[in-house]
Amino acid sequence: MITYPLFINGELIETKEQNAILNPSTAEPFAQVSVAGEKEIENALGAARAAFDSGAWPKIPFSERKAFLLKIADGILEKAGELAQLETLNTGKPIKESTFMDIPSAAKAFQYIAENFEKFLVEDSPALEAQASAKLIREPFGVAALIVPWNYPLLIACWKLASSLAAGNCVVLKPSSLTPLSALELGKIIHTAGLPKGTVNIINGSGSKIGKALCSDKRVDIISFTGSNEVGKQIIEYASQNVKKLVMELGGKSANIICKDAPLDVAVNSSLCSIFLNQGQMCTGMSRILVESAIYDDFVSNFVEKTKRIKIGPGSEFETQIGPLVSRAQQRKVLGFVEDAKKQGGKVLCGGKIPQEANFKNGFFFEPTVIADLAPAAGILKEEIFGPVACISKFSSIEEAVTMANDSDFALAACIWAKDEAKAHTIAAKINAGTIWVNTYGMFYNELPYGGFKQSGFGKELGKEGFLEYARIKSVIMDHSPEGKPLVSYWYGF
């Protein structure tokens, strides 16, 4: 099996401790990965700190920084086929998703930031009173700890890396220990691109072993985390030991509102994508589908019939529409949610089980599932499942739909389906969520910020706003009083 090294201070490092990485489609190991211990964590933090304080990266001309970012983008595209296969082997997601969505989008994240970061960092000169002037200067924080989840390991790593590097920060990147391979492969691309030593360091290990050491260390100036609410709270606690900037995307429990004037087939087909893409392992997964009563029965029968036709299979097969979950633990977690829903009166309209066919018995598969007739207080409507489970509820008025959609501790995303665009925008204004799609789903644009409210976290990724999360702002004020004597110099009358 191939062994994947860490990337620290410009070198590929293999460690004595290594973990096997399983293929979720078969539960069999297919690679070994080096695991960072105390020494590697210290070396990575030390290298990033030294690279920022005395290295070249924060000081190089913007034109050179842009060229490096574009080299990384080109390296991703040159290895696109290999990276797609690796992402599918590691996560279980269908190869067509890795090939046509994840890898190209990862490269585009670097390309977009490379072409735009200079204008985002432009100095501003606000108008002040006649005797003073000011400049607002945007500069890097210093060392950025970037912590990436297992559902989109390469793509989200590239979101964070591109902005952090373009702003002039040096980085310690920690991918999920379940899915570290594409991030470590990205380390090889960065190594080939020739970034100064210590600018990017990529380490692997469980959050329980690495998290506290990484997030509480005073050499880290900013932490950007995408993951569960539970782990996010731990990171906030660690970070409080040495105050630092935080960007936190902590998941969601998103609502998909289907109005009676929505085109039924379009709404059904798109709603299938909004919850079953990537096996439902999406922070923006529309796990709560709210359907207006006039079309409820037609929607449900159509949605269930098409859900039953979704092809389950190994991620490596192009015919596969839904692959395995990422791990055995995640499979058991999803099954537990479904069993609890049944105990609370929910009716499973299809799916709800681990498939028993011989070719699925070893992998971490779970049938795409539809549940109806849940009471509003049911746990499965409140907690993030992160699996292929859609819960369908009925509403009678727009006001009721808005109330149901906002009845969540999370506020990451939502969908609205309505032919009447004015009505859709009226609903959108009342929904408490950071991203709202109208008559579409999942369209992420590098130009637009992404992030949530409430328990879904704070801060943004993507767009100018997301980029500027990685740049601190400094005010420089210059007095122009006659004879160089500002009012303050007379205050005490000496």
Tell me the catalytic residues.
Answer: 249, 283
- Which residue shows structure tokens 């890097």? 140
CA angle in degrees (0–180, nearest 5) for 457-459-460: 115
- Which residue shows structure tokens 């600018």? 199
CA dihedral 270, 279, 308, 297 (to 10 degrees): -50
Q: How many CA atoms lie within 13 A of 454 on its CB side?
A: 16
Residues 6+ away with beta carbon under 8 Å from 299: 258, 264, 267, 268, 291, 392
Using CA atoms, how far apart are residues 147 and 249, in angstroms rounded to an integer? Answer: 11
Length of the chain: 494
**Residue 485 CB neighbour total at 10 angstroms:** 10
Which DSSP string corresponds to 55-117? SSGGGS-HHHHHHHHHHHHHHHHHTHHHHHHHHHHHH---HHHIIIIIHHHHHHHHHHHHHHH
Q: Which amino acid is at 182?
A: S
Backbone Cα Rg of the chain: 24
Q: What is the 3-state secondary structure (H, E, C) of 117-169?
A: HHHHCCCECCCCCCCEEEEEEEEECCEEEEECCCCCHHHHHHHHHHHHHHCCC
Burial of 36 from C-beta contacts in 10 A (0-12 / 13-18 / 19+): buried
Token pair belonging to 239: 């970070």
C-alpha 330 chain-centroid distance: 18
